[in-house]
Amino acid sequence: MFDIGWSELLALVVIAIVFVGPKDLPRMMRTAGQYVAKVRAMAREFQSSFEDLARESELDELRKEVSALKGQVAEPMRALQREIDKPVKIGGGGAGAEAAVASAAKAEEERAAPLDTSGLSDGIADSIREAEAVEAFGHEAPPSVGQGAQTKREGE
């Protein structure tokens, strides 16, 4: 650290004995040791505060990165939510509302029209009719048991 050799240390001891005296030399060395210990403690505290500051800055950077990644991941979901909410927000009128009403009406017409089951086996045709009946259950009254049997006989 200070790069002091044996000869330089010996010269310092001789000068200390001459100026301080052999009687006060142990007290002076003790005081010097206490000062060195205080300086080392202050240096250690200074270094630990810098390390804490570095850790905090690293944590801040990590927090920023995590929030940026979270924003990148959440943005497509927010965009999808905005797209889902658009027709609901437009509902007051305008071209968007008219288009939504027209598409809903078209979907309703497609649901109302029976599927063409010609060329399919009887089991598949029956399954399609049952699926249509289940789907229509929420929109209108379900067909009675007798009507389902008549529809089956008519299709055969």
Residue 106 neighbours by CB distance under 10 Å:
10
Are 122 and 130 in contact by the 8 Å Cβ rule? The answer is no
Q: What is the pLDDT of residue 97?
A: 62
Inter-axis angle of helices 145-155 and 122-137, nearest 10? 140
d(CA 76, CA 153): 52
Of the two residues 38 and 95, the one the predictor is more confident about is 38
pLDDT digits (tens, 9 = 90+) for 14-44: 888 888 888 888 898 899 899 999 999 999 9
Res 88 pLDDT > 70: no
CA distance 19 to 26: 13
Cβ-contact 72, 62 below 8 angstroms: no
